[in-house]
Structure 1
Amino acid sequence: MTTSASSTAASNATRETGARRFGDPIVLGLSIGFILLFLGLSLYDIEWTAGLISSGFAWTASTLGSFFQLLLLLTFLIGMGVAISPAGSAKVGNLNTPELSTFKWLSIIMCTLLAGGGVFFAAGEPVYHFVVTPPVFSTEAGTAEAVAPALAQSFMHWGFLAWAILGTLSAIVLAHAHYVKGQPLQPRTLLYPVFGERIMQGWFGGVVDAACVIAVVAGTVGPIGFLATQVSFGLHELFGFPEGYGTQLVILAVLAGVYVTSAMTGIHRGIQILSRFNVFLALAIAAVIFIFGPTLFLTNAYTQGFGEYINSFFAMATVTSVTAEGWWMQWWTIFFFAWFLGYGPLMALFVARISRGRTIRQMILAVGVMAPVATTVWFTLLGGSGIFYQLTGVIDLSEALNNFQFDVATLTIAQALPGGSLMALAILMLTTIFVATTGDSMSYAIAVVSAGHDDPEPIVRAFWGVAMALMAAVLLYMGAGQISALQQFIVITAIPVSLVLLPSLYMGPKSAYAMAREQGIVPPKGEVALVGETTGSPQSLSGK
């Protein structure tokens, strides 16, 4: 069992690793170097840079798309196995009681991924799948029979598999390695079982961490930039504000100010306060939509859509991009799965940090089951309402969605909802705060990676938050197309990140059982409990 002395040693070890104020110079140099290189190439030749990324995106999606799908599927299935196993009772982070209340904890979890694009796609994606039938299904687009498959496909992209890769097996590995063994809270720690001490010291570990940071930067700058265009468009349509780069800069400045302040004040203040506020706002909007909107249609659509999701789960999870519909898989399923893979290591790090005192079972079920189910409800309320208005002829989003104009789709659906312009304004506010919760959590997580421990300098957190906002501002100046190019780059970054996550398929269960043995929950190796004999209650955990 881990003692308070070993916990202190672990803390000292990680503090020594993060002694440099601004973190690992290799991680810092490579990450900033990527930002400068991408911006420099874009300034030099935008079309050449976008074309190069597009070619890499297409090759990665067609060649490795099935690998990405299989990795997410296995992570979910093995994670659920660990949750129901005896090892699921082990506690995370050497604490007897959780650091955060259940509501605060769940609020932070919900706001982190859903913010990264779920709100941006929640209104338009189900409608897109309604007007363009996904490859797994054969229903006629735009008909009543197409409603359930449209929602089911959206649930696949933002459901169990998406969430599982973010905070189940890899979070267990990081929690055990950091809080029990004293290893740094960095992505390189996930590869320790493969490379040993070689990965922990020197340039190789720095390159691994930098690859994961670059993936998160690419994945976060996109939503930040697109939010500026979406809010700018919304303010123009609702209030006649000028829709241009100046307005977008003001929006970026306000957004950055919010999430940088939140990141600097930390998990127990800014991050959890912002997340809680956003959850309350989301619940209020959800209640208005459900009560005053097409209630019966939404209820039936969710029931049938979730049923279709379960029924066609493996078919949707395993359909490959090497088909006549390969373009569809490339721009939808593979893109989303690669996006989530890119977030995987740093989100796992973040989940492990906020889940101290929780059991492994609670952590897996919160991230891998509760959050996906809540996401499917949200997609049904917004996207299902959009389908209803599209089906009844109140709106027509076919042209906008075929051109991937999701900002237009979101505002159009919002204005058709009960409350009209007031509801549209509330959803714009919700979207803004959701993206801010991604900005603050990822700024914090990147700073943790640089430092190697869970209390990085506030100035480092601020630096990464400001850096991502500035990158979004420069890309918007070049045109929204460069943000789209950066979004495509996410799929390429998923290649190295997927290899970082791969050992967790084996090490996740192994680390869970190691924690369970240390806490007296399961017998030590070589010992078998007699029938009816208990192994005793967990020993007292240090609660620093």
Structure 2
Amino acid sequence: MKVFPTQTVGSAPMKHPALQGIDWPLFIVSGGFLLSFLVAALVDIDAVSALVNTLFAWSTKAFGLYWQLLMLATFLVSLGIFFSKSGRVRLGGVDRQPETSTFNWIAVIMCALLAGGGAFWAAAEPLMHFASPPPLFSGVQPNSEHAGHLALAQSFVHWGFLAWAVLGSLLAIVLMHLHYDKGLPLAPRTLLYPLLGERALKGPIGNLADATSIIAVVAGTIGPIGFLGLQISNALNAVWGVPNDLATQSITIILVTAMYTTSCLVGLNGIRFVSEINVWLMIGLAVFMIVAGPTLFILSGFPVAFGLQLEYFLPMTMYRADPKWLDWWTVFYWGWFIGYAPMMGLYVAKISRGRSIRQIIGTLSIIAPLVTMFWFTVVGGTGIGLELQTPGIVTDHGSQPEAMLLGVTQSLPLAGLVSALFLFLSFISVATNGDAMAYTVALAMSANDAPKKWLRAFWCIGMGLAAVVLITIGSGGVTALQSFIVITAVPVSLLILPALWNAPQIARQLAREQQL
């Protein structure tokens, strides 16, 4: 294994030269890209969309199979470390104790990603697969109970074990060791240090690694912020008659931006507070839907769908027969999660000091996926169960994701209150995603582990303003930016590849040092 030299002054790690000061070139490149995209979209959104679509098609065609293998390999390697003796290794210092409770820690991790899309995709994706079964199950009768179970199983694959495993299980091991033990930057470029040494920390390779990771996560965060404005405006109009116009959409975005900016400026304690509100609201809504909705279908559907996921796990994970379907479902998701991976790994590394490898992998690769699957069963299963009882009761509200969620809430008792609570859940979910990612972006270009408040505020406000600008030209601008994250997944997927062998090596080395 490559030896990672430690720079020390006394007993404390000395900051690597790359940690000195704010990385202004990185700030200019990533901020400049965001500004350039907005200007280009305002000038000619059709040309921007055409270019993004062309690059998107090339990315999925050239890298789709590689991404599928990378996701599967990451999950399997993570499980291997989890069940080995190395799983007992404590990261960030053998005597270091976690700063927060386990519940709070898990809540913060889950809200950083699931909140970005799980609030309304939990209803939309299962219902879409229910009405039009994936091509692997093309012989299944649409809108049948079996189609409903398979729809949930397909959603489990997209949002479950593989999706969560790539978001930090292996990356956190590498980053936490090299940062806390060796004093290297807590930045995406550090993932390449075991392979390239100092060349990864200085020069164009490191700059490219950081810039693409930041651009990917910024694009992936602005998208949900923009869609939140469209979603809430549409729901307010449908249920309460509020005008569905740019003013309502902009006010929604401004309010959510103010909320996540405030929590981000407070720091990790603010992010934890908002995350806990999000989690308790999700728990409350889940209990209500189980009791007031199609209880039997929800409770029986989870084990049935989970079993189908296990039965068809490899065929669904490695499905290649219908490229068009893959591009807009499985491969799109894989590109999305891979694009998020380095910054999520950095975020996990920041909040997990003192945790064991087994805790980190167990949370990301097992607990978070199971919770996500159950949430999808509750929300999506409610919609499917209601449709089985009364065809059209949910889907007559529309085919868009936000319309399907509204169709589910409007079909339950206390429809107005439940709809309002789900809108607030969507609102606070996007806030928990926004504050976590803005904090992490600022952290990646900072000189220490406490990014300056003005830098955090810049990314918080900048992402909110970008969302407002994009919705002025309609949903096409937001869609184009969201699709761009799949393009950035091309270089990012190469950045996270070395962790497949570096993470196990580091885990074994630390196990020997900690005499496990």
Instruction: Give TM-score scaled by structure 1 length.
Output: 0.91
Q: Which residue of the partner structure matches residue 533 of structure 1?
A: none
Say which of 488, 508, 531 aligns to 2:483: 488
Kindly state the Cα deviation for residue 236 of structure 1 after the two structures are TM-superposed.
1.6
State the Cα distance separating 1:261 from its structure 2 match.
1.0
**1:270-324, Cα deviation, whole Å (9 max, x unpaired):** 010011111111111111111222111111111111110111111111112xx3x
Q: Does 2:234 correspond to 1:233?
A: yes
Could you tell me which residue of structure 2 aligns to residue 91 of structure 1? 90
Would you say the 8 A contact 2:397–2:406 is kept in 1? Answer: no
SS of 2:243's equivalent?
Answer: coil
Instruction: Give me the identity figure in percent.
Output: 44
Q: CA–CA distance in 2 between the matches of 1:76 and 1:290?
A: 31
Question: 1:103 is matched with which residue?
Answer: 103
- The residue type equivalent to 1:313 in the other structure is F
1:18: Cα distance to partner?
3.8
Distance 1:494 1:4 in 2: 33
* Conservation of the 8 A alpha-carbon contact between 2:154 and 2:316: yes
Match of 1:49 in 2: 48
CA distance in 2, matches of 1:133, 1:394: 17
Cα shift at 1:202: 2.7
The CA distance in 2 between the partners of 1:285 and 1:399, in whole Å, is 23
Supply the distance in 2 between the matched residues of 1:184 and 1:351 (Cα, whole angstroms).
Answer: 15
User: Which letter does structure 2 place at the counterpart of 1:35?
Assistant: L
Q: 2:326 aligns with which of 321, 325, 329?
A: 329
**Alpha-carbon distance change, 7 to 75 in structure 1, aligned in 2, over 3 angstroms:** farther
> Which letter maps to 1:139?
V
Amino acid at match of 2:54: S
1:167 is displaced (CA, Å) by: 1.4
Q: Deviations over 1:3-22 (max 9, x none)?
A: 99779643x405x64442xx
Instruction: Point out 4+ residue stretches in structure 1 off by more than 4 angstroms.
Output: 2-8, 396-401
1:459 equivalenced with 2:473 (yes/no): no
Q: Partner residue of 2:288? A: 288
Q: Are 1:512 and 2:507 an aligned pair?
A: yes
Shift of 1:93: 1.1
Correspondence for 2:15 among 13, 16, 27: 13
Query: Is 2:394–2:411's contact at 8 Å kept on the other side of the alignment?
Result: no
Distance 1:400 1:502 in 2: 43
CA distance in 2, matches of 1:452, 1:83: 32
Are the equivalent residues in 1 in contact too, given 2:171–2:503 (CA < 8 A)?
yes
Confirm or deny: 8 A CA contact 2:261 2:435 kept in the other structure: yes
Gaps of 5+ in 1: 522-544
How much does 1:419 deviate?
Answer: 2.1
Corresponding residue number in structure 1 for 2:208: 207
- Residue 367 of structure 1 and its aligned partner are, at CA, apart by 0.8
Residue in 2 that maps onto 1:542:
none
Pairwise CA distance, 1:449? 0.5
| TM-score, normalised with respect to structure 2 | 0.96
Q: Which amino acid aligns with 1:302?
A: F
Given the superposition, is the C-alpha separation of residues 8 and 448 from structure 1 closer, same or farther in structure 2, using an over 3 Å criterion? Answer: farther
1:316 and 1:443 mapped to 2: Cα distance?
34
Matched, 1:358 2:355: yes
Give 3-state SS (helix, strand or coil) of 1:196's partner.
helix
Change (3 A) 1:182 1:288: same
Question: In the TM superposition, what is the alpha-carbon distance from 1:392 to its structure 2 partner?
Answer: 2.1
Residue type at the aligned position of 1:176: H
- The whole-number CA distance in structure 2 between the counterparts of 1:393 and 1:59 is 42
Contact 2:394-2:408 at 8 Å conserved across structures: no
* Correspondence 1:310-349 to 2 at 5 A: 310-320=310-320, 323=321, 325-349=322-346
The answer (yes or no) to whether the contact 1:26–1:207 under 8 Å persists in 2 is no
**2:153 matched residue in structure 1:** 152
1:261 correspondence with 2:262: yes
Q: Is the 8 A contact 2:396 2:407 kept in 1?
A: no
Are the aligned partners of 1:93 and 1:356 in contact in 2 as well (CA < 8 Å)? yes
> Which of 409, 412, 428 matches 2:407?
412
Measure, in 2, the Cα distance between the counterparts of 1:6 and 1:442.
Answer: 32
- In the alignment, what sits opposite 2:381? 384
**Cα distance in 1 between the residues matched to 2:308 and 2:256:** 38
In structure 2, list runs of 5 or more residues that go unmatched. none
Amino acid at match of 1:344: A
- C-alpha deviations, 1:478-501, integer Å up to 9, x for none? 111111111111111100100110
CA distance in structure 1 between the aligned counterparts of 2:11 and 2:147, rounded to whole angstroms: 57
| Counterpart residue identity of residue 35, structure 2 | L
Alpha-carbon contact 2:338-2:492 (below 8 Å) kept: yes
Q: Once the two structures are superposed, what CA deviation does each residue of 1:425-474 show, in whole Å capped at 9, x if it has no partner?
A: 11111111111111010001101111153211121111111111111111
Equivalent residue letter for 2:217: V
Distance of 1:446 and 1:362 partners within structure 2:
25
Secondary structure (helix, strand or coil) at the match of 1:387 reads helix
Q: CA deviation at 1:400?
A: 6.9
For 1:429 and 1:335, how far apart are their aligned partners in 2?
A: 27
Distance 1:416 1:74 in 2: 41
Task: Single out whichever of 498-507 and 113-122 deviates more from structure 2.
Answer: 113-122
Letter in 2 for 1:427: F
Aligned counterpart, 1:221:
222
* C-alpha distance after superposition, 1:228-249 (max 9, x if no partner): 1111111222222111111111
Contact 1:166–1:348 under 8 Å retained in 2: yes
Alpha-carbon distance between aligned partners in 2 of 1:478 and 1:158, rounded to the nearest angstrom: 30
Give the Å deviation of 1:157: 0.5
Q: Would you say the 8 A contact 2:397–2:407 is kept in 1? A: no
Give the 5 Å matches for 1:45-84: 45-84=44-83
Query: What is the identity, as a one-letter code, of the residue corresponding to 2:280?
Result: F
Give the letter aligned to residue 68 of structure 2.
Q
The alignment status of 1:193 with 2:194, answered yes or no, reads yes
The aligned amino acid for 1:460 is: L
